């Protein structure tokens, strides 16, 4: 009996019945639209394509939210969609803030922790805040469009999303609420003595004018080597070799707080949360920012504990800024062998797909295309846990002029482009104009320069675009995580009251149920395909390597529960049982990352 054919025939029968019902109904309604057809406009508006229609949760995607607001948005999403979203936490930050977690799936269908999982986080580097908005947007978009957009509905039914908008809430809030530049703080807020004077965090930046932006300091100096740009006097450029200078630049706003002759040398932290993971970790004298030992940083450890407690996580995405990159590991050349060819094929497929959705972004390998780094999050995810993981460097200067370096026919430096963008599209809001202040050590100086809230993060009108495109990449990653099904069951009678049962299990997505790295290093248990039935006993079980040549390997122990290495992307595995007795039977496919599938074989 070919069970698959039987099912298909049933479906055709059902469809035949339906073909007359629908026209008859339409006739009865006299051409009036059915109530279930949704109008994509309200009394006052037509929805823009891609936006949810009448969203239950209104969120403005043109600003950056602090930890409290992120929590509020998560709570509102969970309250509006109790069957699709649950709000929780993966642990606690150094300062005692709950690290927010939104779990998104159809909770009414299946066990969420047995669905293939997609883990998403942002903001490991505190100043790289917009990863938080991309993650939140993803949760919002999935819930608001569930039941409206078939592709998304299917995704939320069959996959589970673990969304952690910020894994560094203390320093995210520091970036937003304290005086900073666009690069600070990168660290979390464990106190550290950076300059070895026995004091912690005693000499950071100082906001001399109290505007919340740490900008540049300059002092008039006929012997300095800096002058103002003739096109935009706000911009400092180097004097030409034979040109007299006008200014000396004195670095970021601040003074010598501890009287050691140095300025801004011991700010909050410092360590790099993305060099502290338990994969290839090296001490700080080898890897800058590594901190004391792997997972000495509590926020990193909270992520690792969460991932290990959720072995169904098969894909992961972490959001950074900036530069327009879709990064994969390895972080060092020594780790090339970890990323074996068959897994790299999967990475390449996804990365190249991402390049299509993200104009100006390039799919790159961390160690060779950006810089070598050990103890990074993405290498731990893949190296230690076998999870296909990307880090996106959000935002690229490409977006200022959409590919054109400058307006037609002009040559300009990066800084000149930035200042021109500020004049043409931000109407000079993006730069603090030079102003005089009295500095305790330098005397009368001027401060001015780029504000912290852009250049690494997009200006408001480009933020939703950034959120949407990066979300799309991550949703396709989730889509291509394994989707397992029992493709066919074939039962044949053998002499002596025996039956032979052949089962083909299929993975209809690109990502294998276990990465080849996992298989090779035995990181996770194998997938199991099991047969159970009250009236039958499994006498022998086989893995069918080649059904055409009838080559099969017997599994002598526990033949009813066959261990398979992986169910390949867009591929199948075939198993065979010899059974004494009769059905009905149940086939169970139990894969940590591929999910749990059961199918009944009728008598
Ligand atoms: Zn980063």
Task: Tokens for 558, please give them.
Answer: 């526990």
C-alpha 377 to ligand 1 mean position (Å): 10
Decide if pLDDT at 34 tops 90: no
C-alpha 184 to ligand 1 mean position (Å): 11
pLDDT, tens digit, 9 for 90 and up, residues 301-313: 999 999 999 999 9
- The whole-model pTM stands at 0.93
Phi, psi of 215 (to 5 degrees): -120, -170
pLDDT, tens digit, 9 for 90 and up, residues 192-211: 999 999 999 999 999 999 99
C-alpha 125 to ligand 1 mean position (Å): 5
C-alpha 580 to ligand 1 mean position (Å): 59
Distance CA 386, CA 313 (A): 10
Decide if pLDDT at 14 tops 90: no
Pairing type for strands 325-328 and 388-394 reads antiparallel
Decide if pLDDT at 273 tops 50: yes
What's the DSSP call for residue 374? S
Judge if the upstream peptide bond of residue 330 is cis by omega within 30 degrees of 0. yes
Contact 484, 595 (CB under 8 A): yes
C-alpha 394 to ligand 1 mean position (Å): 9
Q: What is the pLDDT of residue 405?
A: 56
C-alpha 126 to ligand 1 mean position (Å): 8
Domain boundaries, the chain: 67-174+272-395+458-479, 484-601
Which H helix or E strand runs over 227? strand 226-228
Q: What is the pLDDT of residue 361?
A: 96
Confidence of residue 408 (pLDDT cuts 50, 70, 90): low
Decide if pLDDT at 22 tops 90: no
Decide if pLDDT at 503 tops 90: yes
C-alpha 239 to ligand 1 mean position (Å): 33
C-alpha 72 to ligand 1 mean position (Å): 25
CA nearest 589: which of 519, 520, 523, 504?
504
C-alpha 418 to ligand 1 mean position (Å): 21
C-alpha 217 to ligand 1 mean position (Å): 26
Distance CA 110, CA 595 (A): 10
Helices (H), ranges, 67-112: 67-80
C-alpha 175 to ligand 1 mean position (Å): 14
C-alpha 588 to ligand 1 mean position (Å): 42
What does the pLDDT average to over 477-497? 97
pLDDT, tens digit, 9 for 90 and up, residues 544-573: 999 999 999 999 999 999 999 999 999 999
Distance CA 146, CA 465 (A): 21
Distance CA 73, CA 71 (A): 6
Decide if pLDDT at 453 tops 60: yes
| Reduced 3-state DSSP string for 391-426 | EEEECCHHHHCCCCCCCCCCCCCHHHHHHHHHHHHC
Concatenate the DSSP letters of all residues of 156-177 into one string. Answer: HHH-EEEEES-S-HHHHHHHHH
CA nearest 528: which of 563, 502, 573?
563
Residues constituting the chain? 603
What does the pLDDT average to over 217-241? 97
Confidence of residue 588 (pLDDT cuts 50, 70, 90): very high
Q: CB neighbours of 470 closer than 8 A, spacing ≥ 6?
A: 134, 319, 358, 392, 394
Decide if pLDDT at 406 tops 90: no
Task: Tokens for 297, please give them.
Answer: 């940083």
Decide if pLDDT at 482 tops 50: yes
Confidence of residue 413 (pLDDT cuts 50, 70, 90): confident
Q: What is the mean pLDDT of the chain?
A: 93
Contact 270, 289 (CB under 8 A): yes
Instruction: Supply angle C-alpha 463, 432, 324, rounded to 5.
Output: 30
Q: What is the pLDDT of residue 37?
A: 76
C-alpha 387 to ligand 1 mean position (Å): 20
Pairing type for strands 527-532 and 561-564 reads antiparallel
3 state DSSP class of 85: strand
Decide if pLDDT at 57 tops 50: yes
CATH topology of domain 484-601: Immunoglobulin-like (2.60.40)
C-alpha 430 to ligand 1 mean position (Å): 22
Helices (H), ranges, 195-332: 298-309
pLDDT, tens digit, 9 for 90 and up, residues 346-367: 999 999 999 999 999 999 999 9
pLDDT, tens digit, 9 for 90 and up, residues 166-180: 999 999 999 999 999
Q: What is the pLDDT of residue 43?
A: 82
C-alpha 322 to ligand 1 mean position (Å): 7
C-alpha 147 to ligand 1 mean position (Å): 35
C-alpha 29 to ligand 1 mean position (Å): 58
Alpha carbon 530 to its chain centroid, in Å, reads 34
Q: CB neighbours of 465 closer than 8 A, spacing ≥ 6?
A: 458
Looking at per-residue pLDDT, the higher value among 19 and 333 belongs to: 333
C-alpha 447 to ligand 1 mean position (Å): 27
pLDDT, tens digit, 9 for 90 and up, residues 109-129: 999 999 999 999 999 999 999
pLDDT, tens digit, 9 for 90 and up, residues 459-481: 999 999 999 999 999 999 999 99
Secondary-structure class of domain 67-174+272-395+458-479 per CATH:
alpha beta
Please classify residue 402 by burial: count the beta carbons closer than 10 Å to its beta carbon, then call 0-12 exposed, 13-18 middle and 19+ buried.
exposed
C-alpha 128 to ligand 1 mean position (Å): 6
Task: Tokens for 18, please give them.
Answer: 């339906």
C-alpha 451 to ligand 1 mean position (Å): 19
Q: Where are the beta strands (DSSP E) in 511-602?
A: 527-532, 536-546, 551-554, 561-564, 571-581, 585-591, 595-601
What does the pLDDT average to over 431-440? 97
Distance CA 397, CA 414 (A): 8
Beta bridge partners of 436: 446
Find where tokens 């198993």 sit: 575
3 state DSSP class of 328: strand
Contact 436, 104 (CB under 8 A): no
C-alpha 185 to ligand 1 mean position (Å): 11
Confidence of residue 412 (pLDDT cuts 50, 70, 90): confident
Confidence of residue 36 (pLDDT cuts 50, 70, 90): low
Secondary structure tally for the chain: helices H, strands E: 11, 23
Give the whole-number percent of the chain exceeding pLDDT 90: 89
C-alpha 441 to ligand 1 mean position (Å): 34
Contact 324, 361 (CB under 8 A): yes
C-alpha 602 to ligand 1 mean position (Å): 54
Distance CA 395, CA 491 (A): 56
Contact 354, 473 (CB under 8 A): yes
C-alpha 329 to ligand 1 mean position (Å): 14
3 state DSSP class of 496: helix
3 state DSSP class of 512: coil
Q: What is the pLDDT of residue 475?
A: 98
C-alpha 515 to ligand 1 mean position (Å): 26
C-alpha 319 to ligand 1 mean position (Å): 8
What does the pLDDT average to over 142-150? 97
Decide if pLDDT at 518 tops 80: yes
Beta bridge partners of 364: 327
3 state DSSP class of 552: strand
C-alpha 122 to ligand 1 mean position (Å): 9
Contact 587, 529 (CB under 8 A): yes
């Amino acid at each position: 009996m070919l069970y698959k054919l039987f099912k298909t025939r049933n479906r055709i029968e059902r469809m035949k019945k339906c073909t007359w019902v629908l026209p008859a109904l339409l006739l009865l309604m006299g051409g009036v639209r059915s109530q279930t057809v949704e109008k994509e406009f309200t009394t006052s508006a037509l929805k823009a394509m891609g936006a949810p229609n009448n969203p239950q949760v209104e969120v403005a995607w043109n600003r950056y939210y602090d930890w409290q607001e992120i929590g509020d948005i998560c709570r509102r999403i969970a309250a509006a969609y109790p069957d699709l979203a649950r709000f929780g936490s993966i642990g606690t930050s150094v300062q005692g803030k709950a690290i927010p977690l939104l779990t998104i799936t159809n909770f009414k269908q299946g066990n969420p922790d047995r669905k293939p999982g997609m883990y998403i986080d942002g903001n490991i580097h505190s100043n790289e805040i917009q990863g938080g908005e991309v993650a939140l947007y993803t949760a919002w978009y999935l819930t608001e469009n569930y039941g409206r957009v078939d592709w998304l509905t299917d995704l939320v039914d069959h996959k589970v999303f673990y969304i952690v908008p910020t894994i560094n809430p203390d320093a995210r809030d520091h970036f937003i609420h304290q005086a900073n530049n666009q690069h600070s703080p990168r660290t979390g807020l464990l106190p550290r003595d950076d300059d070895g004077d026995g004091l912690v965090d005693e000499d950071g930046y100082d906001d001399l004018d109290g505007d919340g932006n740490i900008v540049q300091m300059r002092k008039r100096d006929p012997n300095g080597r800096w002058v103002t740009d003739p096109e935009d006097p706000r911009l400092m450029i180097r004097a030409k070799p034979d040109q007299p200078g006008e200014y000396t630049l004195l670095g970021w706003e601040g003074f010598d707080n501890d009287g050691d002759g140095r300025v801004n040398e011991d700010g909050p932290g410092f360590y790099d949360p993305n060099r502290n993971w338990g994969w290839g970790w090296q001490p700080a004298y080898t890897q800058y920012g590594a901190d004391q030992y792997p997972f000495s940083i509590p926020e990193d450890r909270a992520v690792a504990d969460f991932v290990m407690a959720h072995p169904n996580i098969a894909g992961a995405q972490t959001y950074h800024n900036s530069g327009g990159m879709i990064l994969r590991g390895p972080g060092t050349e020594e780790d090339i062998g970890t990323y074996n060819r068959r897994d790299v094929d999967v990475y390449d497929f996804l990365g190249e797909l991402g390049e299509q959705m993200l104009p100006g972004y390039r799919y790159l390998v961390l160690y060779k295309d950006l810089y070598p780094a050990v103890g990074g999050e993405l290498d731990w995810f893949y190296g230690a846990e076998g999870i296909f993981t990307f880090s996106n460097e959000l935002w690229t200067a490409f977006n200022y002029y959409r590919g054109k370096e400058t307006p037609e026919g002009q040559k300009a430096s990066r800084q000149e482009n930035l200042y021109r963008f500020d004049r043409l599209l931000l109407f000079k809001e993006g730069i603090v104009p030079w102003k005089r202040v009295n500095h305790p050590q330098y005397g009368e100086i001027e401060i001015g320069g780029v504000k912290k809230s852009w250049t690494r993060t997009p200006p408001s009108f480009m933020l939703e675009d950034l959120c949407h495109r990066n979300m799309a990449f991550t949703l396709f990653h989730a889509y291509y995580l394994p989707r397992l099904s029992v493709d066919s069951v074939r039962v044949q009678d053998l002499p002596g009251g025996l039956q032979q049962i052949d089962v083909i299990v299929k993975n209809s997505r690109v990502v294998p149920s276990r990465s080849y790295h996992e298989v090779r290093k035995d990181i996770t248990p194998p997938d199991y395909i099991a047969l159970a039935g009250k009236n039958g006993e499994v006498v022998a079980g086989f893995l069918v390597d080649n059904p055409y040549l009838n080559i099969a390997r017997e599994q002598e122990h526990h033949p009813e529960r066959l261990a398979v290495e992986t169910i390949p992307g867009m591929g199948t595995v075939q198993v065979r049982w010899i059974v004494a007795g009769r059905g009905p039977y149940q086939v169970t496919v139990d894969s940590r990352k591929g999910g749990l599938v059961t199918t009944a074989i009728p008598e």
